[in-house]
Structure 1
Amino acid sequence: MGAMSRRRDLWVLAVLVVLTGCADRDRPAIADGRLTATPGGLDFQRVAVFDGREAQVVLRNVGRARINVDEAWVEGPAGAWQVSFTHEGPHTLVPGSECTLRVRFAPSESGPLPATLVVRSDAKREPLIRVPLQGAGVDAWARVSPRQLDFGRIEAESSKTLNVTVINPTDMPVEVTPKLLGADRDEFSAATVSLGAGEQREVPITFSPGRVGRKQVALAVSPCRGCSDVAVQVAAESLDRAVVAEPPELDFGAIPVDKDSFRLARLHNISTEPMTVTELTLGGTEASFSHGAPGLPLVLAPGEVRSWEMRYSPGHMGPAEDKATFRVESKRNPTTDVALRGFGGAAELCVSPLNHDFGRKPIGSKTAVVVNVKNCGASNGGPLTLYGLEFHSLDGHPDTDVQFNVVPMQLPHRLLPGEEVNLKVFFEPTRAGATSGRLLMTTDVYSGNSTEIDFTGSAQEHAPCTLDISPVALDFGTVAPGKGAVLGVKVANHGGDLCAVKNMRLRDDGGGVFTMPGGALDGLVMYPGDWFSFMVAFSAPAAGGDFAGLLQLEPANPTHPLVLVPLTAHSQNACLVPSPRFVDYGVARPDCPMVPREVNYLNACRAPVTVSGVNIGPGTTDGEFVLNDTPGTPFTLEPGDGFTVEVGYLAQVNGLNLSPLFVASSDLPAPLLVPLIGESSKNVEKTDAFVQQDGSKVDVLFVVDNTASMVEEQPRIVSAMPAFADAALAKGVDLHVAVTTTGIDAATNACPGGARGGEAGRFFPVDNSRPRILTNTTPDLAGVLRKNVDVGQCAAVEQGFEAVRRALSDPLVNGADDPRTPERNDGNKGFLRDEAALVVVFMGDEDDHSPDSVDTYVRFLQGRKGVNQPQRMTIYAIAPTASGCPTSGGAGTRYAEAAARTGGEVLSVCTPDYAPLLRAVANKAFSAQDRFPLSEAPDAGSLVVRVNGSPVTTGWSYDGATNSVVFSTAPSPGAKVEIRYRRACGG
């Protein structure tokens, strides 16, 4: 039903009231009262729907008798009009008195809403009076938007304000009232606003959380006075912290000392507001942790994750802890921390070599190289496990046709700290041309589970091998139970081309009784006319018996690819007991007659024995051993009797010679064996060369560990340098000093000097930012030396010996520039002087990991100054010792061995002051050498001495006790001394 119909059809009784406050007198019987209303009509004009407007109507008794006003009501639209007395009744009006009515117009719909105010009294002539009422409802209420507010996720103790837009599209003023509901309404605030005609306003709603969690709250907005509420959905959450670390702790795990491990510290802004990160700092309790350039301040967008690289390079063994602190612009949580943990010491994989070129080999050959795999981590670093070894082709051929292979081993293979295993890798070419392959080694080492070792080689075709094998069978005769014997096989190349032979091994070891003392021979290549011999041993079991075995060789001959040498032996207790059981002539010379050796035989039985024959059986070279004095056979040997056999060795065939000496007796089915062994060498002449040292000239090379674990030690090295410089200057030594590092391969720019930590023997600094070869005349020698030993900490592997070998080898030692590198003028020319003594000082907190043996490097360094002049080349070391300490990585056994072999010293790297050792180095007396030891015993009268190329016949003598040539007056510094002699014959 429409609004106008309702106005026509609905008439309500407004209010029935009882008059009060008017005069209360007796009403005359013949008089009458008259009631008037002022004003005679009300027009409320336009009023907003749900708003209200009031006016008063005054009722006055203008008659002569009192009147009782009984009630007043409005006839009109229901709910739009209200009337009430301003005073409580009863309302009795005496003549001239008045009462007041309050009329309220509150339209609930728009449009004209006329009505009539009706007042009923007990007046006789006019009991009802009517007052017309006019008014119109206007649809005036604010429009509210949006209907949803999302405050997102913000940190507690912060605040965020969002606005609700209210618009009044009418020409009437409107009052808008926001109301907050719900359990968390106390964390929100809003204010009532009034809107003028056509006005638009923003109503701020502020979220100021104090408690953490999702909020239960709603917003009800009353768009006008009396209007129904408009619901606005509200979503909000309060966080304990807006910026969180993911993860809150970085555990680097166990890392070898000197190695690097990198982890990412991540900050996540889990709020919906931007957050500013201003600073990154470390706690400073552990020097092993560091970070890259932080790039702060920066703003983390809502939901954004940023990462910072953190580095752990343990400078000591054992646990390490620190904290990375990020400063955040936040009232509640001004910092976000990331815990840093690590452990110094882990399994560390050292592999040498990482690549190898086998060179050019014949097809059918077999060449081996040993790859050393070592767990070179600290003693507390735990085991390393080798899981897999796989060869892959790199030359385009399938993996099934790869020309390289490795000796199989039981996998997985576990290596404890310090343990190592040698992998034998073979090149066995079956096709001509160049080839390459890689061995992929899988381990559980921290830095990555795959290590690649590359191999190259090339193969050529040659004519089929023509071999001569002697003897064609090995017969060990009789060997007493529990005893052993060795015989030999000789392989000679009788062809006109190269001959490759491989896989010389026991095909059948007779149940374990036959062995090859030198081990199986993988392969070798012989030139025409060359030959070689190898031993085969027989170990007779206690039970005796007859045994057979088989030896094999594989020559490069397609028609005869396999050669077999039968092995036979018998073992039982014999009546004859030989003494000695074998004869070893040692190393002989063809021109030196060997003293014959005797073998005595005793009949240890209680019965006579008949000796039926004495002979030398087939050997590697028949005729090298001869019988000089032998009793005629047959003869009978009574119990307890004996006889002697004299055997000579001619030593005319170069190399190893083996033959069997057989004695046949009546108690044995096979003759009794006594092996004959000798080696002939043609190397007769020998020259020992020396360069006389100058006691006033010293070349000193410092080799400083530049790995990441040198955090504690490098400052001590720097501090000790003035002690060395002052002592050297005080002694007046003509000094050359240089510094290099233990780094071979470039690492990172964290190391100064221009080579990124990979000096590879070049003197520091490679970029020539300071003098690299210092002398006793260098201004502020101590200061420059301090700077030069401050080499940084970025390398991963200590290869001190290898660095020295490269530093003192071509092209560095004699060149001003290394042609292999892009850096200019990075050679070491001018440092090493022939007449000066050489001192090498290694400084590091972990042992050397260079690829070759200590002996190789020591011989190289001694060769720079003369092998038999140890005082001219001395090695010192500041390195880990057996006692160790938390900041060192294992014991420096290689450095200690090198120092001991050259007369040097080792100081523990754990010592807080390195100055005493460096003073000892500087104060070492390099006196002139007057005694020159020979490497072998000379023939009397064969000595020829030359100084600077000229023969010297007087002023020297030979001291047989020390096997030295002694000068009465020492040669002058720098003099070249050569002593040539003929090796004495062995006897």
Structure 2
Amino acid sequence: MRRRWGLWVLVLGLFSGCADRERSSMADGRLAVTPAGIDFQRVAIFDGREVDVTVRNVGRARLSVDDVWVEGPDGTYVAAFTHEGPHSLLPGSECAMKVRFAPLESGALPATLVIRSDSKVEPFIRIPLNGTGVDAMARVSPRRLDFGRIEADSSKTLGVKVENPTDMPVEVATRLVGADKDEFVIEPVQLAPGETRELPLTFNPVMVGRKNVALAVTPCHGCADVPVLVTAESLEQAVVAEPGELDFGGVPVDRDKRLMARLHNLSTEPMTVSRMDLGGKDASFTHATTAFPLVLQPGEVREWETRYSPGHMGPADDVMTFQVVSKRHPTTSISLLGHGGAAELCISPMAHDFGQKPIGSKTAVNVNIKHCGSENGGPLRLTGLALQPDASGQPQFNLSPAVALPHTLQPGEELNLKVFFEPSVVGPATGALVVETNAFNAGRVQLDFKGGAEPHAPCELAINPVAVDFGTVRPRKGAVLGVKVENRGHDVCPVKNIRLRDDGGGVFRLPGGDLDGLVIYPGDWFAFQVAFTAPATGGTFLGTLQIEQADPVTPLVLVPLSAHSQGTCLIPDPYFVDFGLARRDCPAAPRQVRYLNACQDPVTISNVRVGPGTTDLEFALRSAPSPMPFELLPNEGFTVEVDYFAQVSGMNLSPLFVESSDLPHPLLVPLLGESSKKVENTDTFIQQDATKVDVLFVVDNTASMVEEQPRFIQALPAFVSTALDKQVDLHVAVTTTGITPESNACPGGAQGGEAGRFFPVDGSAPRVLTHQMPDLAARLQANAQVGQCAAVEQGFEAVRRALSEPLVNSADDPRTPQPNDGNLGFLRDEAALVVVFVGDEDDHSPDSVDTYVRSFQAKKGLYQPQRMSIYAIAPTGSACGTAGGTGLRYSEAAQRTGGEVVSVCAPDYAPLLRNVANKAFSPQDRFPLSVLPEVGSVVVRINGVPATSGWTYDSASNAVVFSPGPAPGAKVEVSYRRACQ
């Protein structure tokens, strides 16, 4: 048996393999497969695993294995013989093949291995296959890398995160593609199961420009590339100056101009600026102090205020240099240019809201353009005055009068214009006036206007009289009559452009000027005067007055004017009768007119009458000669008596005509009167405390105050010592003439634009000082250190704001970001008010001196002028090199309030400040009334309680006189009925 087995083995050895042999026809073969089933277990997607399979012929005849394949998911399994066929097996011999499992998806992936042979018994053998696909590729994030913009010759590294979320190792490959790939560096990595790693991608730019590059990441063996978009740019210079040159242009030598030096970090990386230096070539250039080093964040623009305050006439230049931490550009420079000397522009208002107006109306606002610079600044040239159209495309804003350009203003000269709003389209409207000049800091100024339009019914006007007839006026004499315009409709009526369409060769005029426009409410009216001046040559004259109304049917109303002039026999006395102000319940006393025949011949008087006027029946003949006609002999006369009833409120005018035989047109004597409905009147006063005074110092904080501010500060102890010696209950505060913020270099926290807020606005020191504070003089001197950084002196405007709401009665100004910057606690009703202006140039506030003085006096009672006084240390007629012009506005204000002005050129300001402290604020015992009262109608109340004694009415001065005066702080009310005068 052993031999036979050995022989069999030998035979098998001789015929093993898949050799091509003759097959026995006597028996059939049978195949056996090892293994009988295959489990590939877990394999990563796109990876693969192979298993060897052995096929053995266990039959008794030769077999041919013809084919092998896998039935299952496409592309997942692959089966193949290990060597080329034919695959013919003798009994006992075997053949090898391989089966590969390469999953394309995750999850269980069963299949069947099929082996086909020429066996007649079992031609097909099926072997079960099992395997599980595992998503074992790395996760790549982010899919975009943005290196931003960095300066060439620098370096920046960003990371690509690769994460293996499975329990199988993953091989991650990387490669760079693109024209600029050589400027980037990255390495491949092998990830252990569950491992997360960041692959550093480094950008080392050499060339300037945007980079064309991408990163391809192969997340596993056999996986498709995952693209990572790379964005990068290399800059020639990261930190640049914008602009590279600051040209301050012309600046007056007593002014300064500020421009912003800007550094822009163009890169997306922080850049360090280590220091900043001025070249020192011209001391006229300075800059705000900034702590260095500092870091410019990506894309940040940092500004440094740069100031040019010319210390000399003519050109100036310097260089500002910044040191930057950079290999390529360690310095960035800005050129500084300027010129000493320029014209200055003051313009007001800068914006105006006309509000809601009816269609067809015309509303005006006055625009004042003034050369407010010093004489050394040269002339101011207006080169452009243009109204920009509004959004509707309709000409709803217009300008008058027309000005020939260029127009030149010498220092101190001004130009007044009117901007009109004439709405023609319902809805909001906006417009702008653009002013172009050669002025310092005002090459192009835009004034913004807005308004709105509302519809209304067509006008229904009544014009009285329908024609104005001046009759006869003697040569070289003048006469005034009136026209009344009344709205008899039920809606508003806009009228406009009331003017002379034909002035009769210059003999007719409107004394009040042309009326641009107004709106008449239903039932209301107004009257205006028309004047005739007879030329020496006499003659007959015709003219026309026009009135435009918002009525599409009759948009233009024409009122004929006629007048005749020649020598007359009749001489009236007076030539006109003015009844003055009257009341409906108390008409004016009758007035008489005497007519004299100055000719050598008799004249016949045929009629005396009151002609058509603004309101018929307001004037009437009380008496006239009767019967008529009658003959008036030479040198004889007659008298006519006229009544004025004053029943219609407002101005009334009518002609008194006398018809005579020597005149083709009746002789005119104009009748004038004004009726007022107001009867009762009350004047209110607050009694002052002689020991209490509120003092407000208003200090010029412009650049030219270099010499004057130290003198003023040095003199303040004299003021304080005098006030304390007099035991004055003192409130004292300081503000500046600055309205608009100018520079962070200005002290006090308001950038030089206190706008009436007391200094210092930031609250770094008490702002309302009192006599009870220790070291009052030192505190006041500290608060007077207001700096020299503003541009325009607007002292009056600053005081108006300081003493008006919301500042005067609030602890905090709600309009500003600074906390607790209100002026609450300064102004006391029972205290006198003294305002002291200190400046080397006149005030440039937008409104008139009269407007401001009335506003200041109203804080203490308009009829208590001694309770409010204005002083000034300002330019006077005695000019000096440090002063600009003459302080005419300060002088006028001081004169009207009983104050005084001392020259800013004086070497010592202490005498004036002592005079302020020595001002006698004696208790008031005389209270002047605003109008004449009826006898016996005066009623006096003190603190609301009637006072029946202790006072008298002085008719000579029209004042209530107390003896003794009311107590300090008492509220005095004087009520009375207006007298018939």
Q: CA deviation at 1:262?
A: 6.5
Partner of 1:838: 833
**Residues 717-736 of structure 1: CA distance to partner in whole angstroms, max 9, x if unpaired?**
22122222222222222221
> For residues 338 and 581 of structure 2, what CA distance do their matches in structure 1 show?
62
> For residues 519 and 323 of structure 1, what CA distance do their matches in structure 2 show?
53
Q: CA deviation at 1:523?
A: 0.8
Asked if residue 606 in structure 1 is aligned to residue 634 in structure 2, the reply is no
Asked if residue 932 in structure 1 is aligned to residue 927 in structure 2, the reply is yes
Helix, strand or coil at the partner of 2:859: helix
Moved more, 447-456 or 349-358: 447-456
Q: CA deviation at 1:612?
A: 1.3
Q: Kindly name which structure, 1 or 2, has the bigger radius of gyration based on alpha carbons.
A: 1
> For residues 533 and 280 of structure 1, what CA distance do their matches in structure 2 show?
68
Contact residue 320 and residue 336 of structure 2 kept, 8 A:
no
Partner of 1:466: 460
Asked if residue 628 in structure 1 is aligned to residue 622 in structure 2, the reply is yes
**Residues 101-154 of structure 1: CA distance to partner in whole angstroms, max 9, x if unpaired?**
xxxxxxxxxxxxxxxxxxxxxxxxxxxxxxxxxxxxxxxxxxxxxxxxxxxxxx
Q: Identify the match of residue 255 of structure 2 among 251, 254, 258.
A: 258
Q: CA deviation at 1:424?
A: 0.9
Asked if residue 369 in structure 1 is aligned to residue 359 in structure 2, the reply is no
Asked if residue 948 in structure 1 is aligned to residue 943 in structure 2, the reply is yes
Contact residue 695 and residue 927 of structure 1 kept, 8 A:
yes
> In 2 relative to 1, CA 980–340 (structure 1 residues): closer, same or farther, beyond 3 Å?
same
> In 2 relative to 1, CA 251–550 (structure 1 residues): closer, same or farther, beyond 3 Å?
closer
The one-letter amino acid paired with 2:384 is G
Contact residue 630 and residue 645 of structure 1 kept, 8 A:
yes
The one-letter amino acid paired with 1:549 is G
Partner of 2:89: none
Q: CA deviation at 1:516?
A: 0.8
Partner of 1:526: 520
The one-letter amino acid paired with 2:581 is V
> In 2 relative to 1, CA 340–370 (structure 1 residues): closer, same or farther, beyond 3 Å?
closer
Helix, strand or coil at the partner of 1:921: helix
> Which runs of no fewer than 5 residues in structure 2 stay unpaired?
1-243, 262-274, 294-302, 322-334
Asked if residue 805 in structure 1 is aligned to residue 800 in structure 2, the reply is yes
> For 1:413-424, what aligned pairs fall within 5 Å after superposition?
413-424=407-418
Q: Identify the match of residue 717 of structure 1 among 707, 712, 717.
A: 712
Contact residue 282 and residue 323 of structure 1 kept, 8 A:
no
> In 2 relative to 1, CA 278–484 (structure 1 residues): closer, same or farther, beyond 3 Å?
closer
> In 2 relative to 1, CA 757–606 (structure 1 residues): closer, same or farther, beyond 3 Å?
same
**Residues 885-937 of structure 1: CA distance to partner in whole angstroms, max 9, x if unpaired?**
11112111111111111111212111122222222222323222122122222
> For residues 508 and 675 of structure 1, what CA distance do their matches in structure 2 show?
22
Q: CA deviation at 1:347?
A: 2.4
> For residues 924 and 373 of structure 2, what CA distance do their matches in structure 1 show?
43
> In 2 relative to 1, CA 464–800 (structure 1 residues): closer, same or farther, beyond 3 Å?
same
> In 2 relative to 1, CA 831–261 (structure 1 residues): closer, same or farther, beyond 3 Å?
closer
Contact residue 256 and residue 307 of structure 2 kept, 8 A:
no
> For residues 249 and 741 of structure 1, what CA distance do their matches in structure 2 show?
29
Asked if residue 483 in structure 1 is aligned to residue 477 in structure 2, the reply is yes
The one-letter amino acid paired with 1:969 is P
> For residues 305 and 867 of structure 2, what CA distance do their matches in structure 1 show?
49
Asked if residue 390 in structure 1 is aligned to residue 377 in structure 2, the reply is no
Relative to the length of structure 1, the TM-score reads: 0.68
The one-letter amino acid paired with 1:360 is Q
Q: Identify the match of residue 355 of structure 1 among 351, 354, 358.
A: 351
Q: CA deviation at 1:698?
A: 1.5
Contact residue 365 and residue 428 of structure 1 kept, 8 A:
yes
> For residues 339 and 910 of structure 2, what CA distance do their matches in structure 1 show?
32
Helix, strand or coil at the partner of 2:710: helix
Q: CA deviation at 1:308?
A: 11
Contact residue 404 and residue 437 of structure 1 kept, 8 A:
no
Q: Identify the match of residue 584 of structure 1 among 578, 587, 590.
A: 578
Q: CA deviation at 1:397?
A: 2.7
Partner of 2:649: 654
> In 2 relative to 1, CA 761–601 (structure 1 residues): closer, same or farther, beyond 3 Å?
same
Moved more, 596-605 or 429-438: 596-605
Contact residue 386 and residue 413 of structure 1 kept, 8 A:
yes
Q: CA deviation at 1:283?
A: 8.3
Partner of 1:211: none
The one-letter amino acid paired with 2:678 is N
The one-letter amino acid paired with 2:892 is E
> In 2 relative to 1, CA 253–405 (structure 1 residues): closer, same or farther, beyond 3 Å?
closer
> For residues 771 and 975 of structure 2, what CA distance do their matches in structure 1 show?
38
> For residues 573 and 410 of structure 1, what CA distance do their matches in structure 2 show?
44
> For 1:735-746, what aligned pairs fall within 5 Å after superposition?
735-746=730-741
Moved more, 406-415 or 361-370: 406-415
Q: CA deviation at 1:500?
A: 0.9
Helix, strand or coil at the partner of 1:861: helix
> In 2 relative to 1, CA 651–294 (structure 1 residues): closer, same or farther, beyond 3 Å?
closer
Count of aligned pairs between the two proteins? 711
Contact residue 314 and residue 708 of structure 1 kept, 8 A:
no
Q: Identify the match of residue 496 of structure 1 among 484, 490, 493.
A: 490
> For 1:750-789, what aligned pairs fall within 5 Å after superposition?
750-789=745-784
> For residues 250 and 908 of structure 1, what CA distance do their matches in structure 2 show?
36
> For residues 250 and 819 of structure 1, what CA distance do their matches in structure 2 show?
37
Q: Identify the match of residue 541 of structure 2 among 530, 534, 547.
A: 547
The one-letter amino acid paired with 2:483 is V
Relative to the length of structure 2, the TM-score reads: 0.68
> In 2 relative to 1, CA 811–733 (structure 1 residues): closer, same or farther, beyond 3 Å?
same
> For 1:27-176, what aligned pairs fall within 5 Å after superposition?
none
**Residues 290-327 of structure 1: CA distance to partner in whole angstroms, max 9, x if unpaired?**
45669999xxxxxxxxx999744358xx8589997999
Q: CA deviation at 1:254?
A: 5.8
Q: CA RMSD in A?
A: 3.3
Helix, strand or coil at the partner of 2:564: strand
> For residues 967 and 606 of structure 1, what CA distance do their matches in structure 2 show?
63
Helix, strand or coil at the partner of 1:865: coil
> In 2 relative to 1, CA 322–385 (structure 1 residues): closer, same or farther, beyond 3 Å?
closer
Partner of 1:515: 509
> For residues 343 and 278 of structure 1, what CA distance do their matches in structure 2 show?
25
Helix, strand or coil at the partner of 1:452: strand
The one-letter amino acid paired with 1:428 is E
**Residues 422-478 of structure 1: CA distance to partner in whole angstroms, max 9, x if unpaired?**
101111001111111101112222324321111111111111111111111111111
> For residues 922 and 279 of structure 2, what CA distance do their matches in structure 1 show?
56
Partner of 2:28: none
The one-letter amino acid paired with 2:576 is F
> For residues 340 and 632 of structure 2, what CA distance do their matches in structure 1 show?
78
Contact residue 705 and residue 743 of structure 1 kept, 8 A:
yes
Q: CA deviation at 1:975?
A: 0.7
> For residues 709 and 263 of structure 1, what CA distance do their matches in structure 2 show?
21
Contact residue 387 and residue 397 of structure 2 kept, 8 A:
no
Q: Identify the match of residue 853 of structure 1 among 848, 853, 862.
A: 848
The one-letter amino acid paired with 1:364 is G
The one-letter amino acid paired with 2:343 is A
> Which runs of no fewer than 5 residues in structure 1 stay unpaired?
1-246, 265-276, 298-306, 328-337
The one-letter amino acid paired with 1:512 is G
> For residues 247 and 484 of structure 2, what CA distance do their matches in structure 1 show?
65
Contact residue 250 and residue 263 of structure 1 kept, 8 A:
no
Contact residue 369 and residue 416 of structure 2 kept, 8 A:
yes
Partner of 2:193: none
> In 2 relative to 1, CA 283–412 (structure 1 residues): closer, same or farther, beyond 3 Å?
closer
> In 2 relative to 1, CA 622–763 (structure 1 residues): closer, same or farther, beyond 3 Å?
same
Contact residue 252 and residue 312 of structure 1 kept, 8 A:
no
Contact residue 958 and residue 964 of structure 1 kept, 8 A:
yes
Helix, strand or coil at the partner of 1:803: helix
Q: CA deviation at 1:805?
A: 1.2
> For 1:165-314, what aligned pairs fall within 5 Å after superposition?
253=250, 255=252, 257-260=254-257, 280=278, 290-291=286-287, 311-313=307-309
